[in-house]
Amino acid sequence: MQSYTCECGNTLFFDNSLCLACGREVGHCPRCRRIATLLPEGDGTFVCANDDCGTHLAKCANYAQHDVCNRCVEAATAAEAPLCDCCRFNLTIPDLTVPGNLQKWYRLEAAKRRLFYDLGELGLPYGTAADGIDPPLAFDFKADVIPKNDFWRSGAAGEKVYTGHAAGRITINIREADDVEREKLRVDMGEAHRTLIGHFRHEIGHYYWDMLVKNRREDDFIAVFGDHNHPTYAEALDAHYQNGPPPDWPARHVSAYAAMHPWEDFAETWATYLDMVAALDTAGNMGFHEPIPPRETDLEQMVTRYQELGVALNEINRSMGLLDIVPEVIVPPVIEKLRFVHELVEQGRAENGALHPEPEPVAAGAAAMPEAMPAQADQGKPAPPPAPQKPIAGTKKT
């Protein structure tokens, strides 16, 4: 992750919507693709203060109305396209009449913007059906629905929301945006990490499996990850919850969950790859080491630098009483899986065009698969500012 500079000279960060030194509003400019000081025009529009840009901007509707976004759109097209290049993929947002949901939504959007930054760095394609991308990408941020007591006679059923992916639709149970709830789940599931950005990085892995592997490279996939048809996903899921992961999973997988089925192995490996790319990008931009652009660096070099960085950062975290920042030990079979992902990213970039961090954003599509998750307690019905709520489409566990 990069940092940016305000008109006043202060450093701006990716999540900022205000400069903490001069108090000016700032936002992401879709033209120069930087966090920029927003110079007000007096009519609710702004000009990007970057000297080499000067684009006429409007805040994304989710920035202007809800303050859950810090991106802008070009003023000239704001009336037809009021949502930014991240918010435009939302199908369902949390019910904002429920206390606490606005804050959860803010956290979800912040994590989602980082996901899109990662995809931009890698040049990966994504988009909607209108963009000509298959599968079309979309997000549902939903809470479990608990039937109200008055309705029990009607037989109204609750709806349990599973975080997952199906045919391009990424569903996140908004319970994950509650720090206490998420930490409970992390401990219950024996995970080294459980984060919002981690959920996005995992689910987008399923999306890219559908886009880049399904019906295209399944034999190559099977050679590295194993046969995803035998056992079936449902059989593997049952076995996982009955027997737990095999004790020797660390010799072959990045996580215990990855040992469940080749699709999960791929999504977990994909997420680890994005973690690595993001950590190396940030460390390079912060001067920890020379830049390591993933498009021009071979996998071994990336893994070596990531593990070196991980050793140092883990020690710093331990000295602060925090969890290890890089819990994975990247063993040779995992390197081969990461290599598959590294090459797949390159193939995706070459074959599908890309949403470049430079000029014209292009988007790409999606598919869905939910993660198994314990029940959740919030009550929510998605409110539809960005898009009408729809029932969840098909579900495969992920």
Q: Which parts of this chain interact with Zn ion (CB under 5 A)? A: 6, 8, 10, 19, 21-22, 29, 31-32, 36, 48, 50, 53, 55, 60, 62, 69, 71, 84, 87, 267, 371, 398
CB atoms within 10 A of CB 82: 19
Closest to Zn ion by CB, 48 or 344: 48
Closest to Zn ion by CB, 109 or 283: 109
Helix (H/G/I), strand (E/B), else coil: 282: helix
Cα 270 to chain centroid, rounded = 11
Sequence letter at residue 234: A
CB 32 within 8 A of CB 25: no
Q: Establish how many alpha carbons lie within 13 A of residue 176's alpha carbon, considering only the half-sphere containing its beta carbon.
A: 27
Closest to Zn ion by CB, 88 or 342: 88
Closest to Zn ion by CB, 8 or 311: 8
From 107, 83, 84, 88, select the one nearest 29 (Cα to Cα): 84
Minimum distance of Zn ion from residue 282's CB (angstroms) = 22
Minimum distance of Zn ion from residue 370's CB (angstroms) = 8
**26, two tokens:** 């700032």
| Length of the chain counted residue by residue | 398
Strands across the sheet with 35-40, in order?
26-28, 35-40, 46-48, 56-59, 72-74
Minimum distance of Zn ion from residue 369's CB (angstroms) = 6
Closest to Zn ion by CB, 21 or 329: 21
**Alpha helices in the chain, H assignment, sequence order:** 61-66, 101-122, 179-188, 196-208, 218-225, 233-243, 262-285, 299-319, 332-352
Closest to Zn ion by CB, 36 or 204: 36
Closest to Zn ion by CB, 19 or 174: 19
Closest to Zn ion by CB, 351 or 358: 358
Minimum distance of Zn ion from residue 53's CB (angstroms) = 3
Residue nearest to Zn ion (CB): 398
d(CA 46, CA 64): 12
Beta strands at 4-5 and 35-40: parallel, antiparallel or unpaired:
unpaired
Cβ burial 317-353 (10 Å sphere, 16+ → b, else e): eeeeeeeebbebebeeebeebbbbbbebbeebbeebb
Minimum distance of Zn ion from residue 60's CB (angstroms) = 3
Closest to Zn ion by CB, 71 or 104: 71
CB 87 within 8 A of CB 69: yes
d(CA 68, CA 17): 10
d(CA 201, CA 211): 15
Minimum distance of Zn ion from residue 359's CB (angstroms) = 12
Minimum distance of Zn ion from residue 33's CB (angstroms) = 8
How many degrees, rounded to 5, is the angle at CA 220 between CA 137 and CA 236?
70
Minimum distance of Zn ion from residue 69's CB (angstroms) = 3
Minimum distance of Zn ion from residue 266's CB (angstroms) = 9
**273, two tokens:** 């790859």
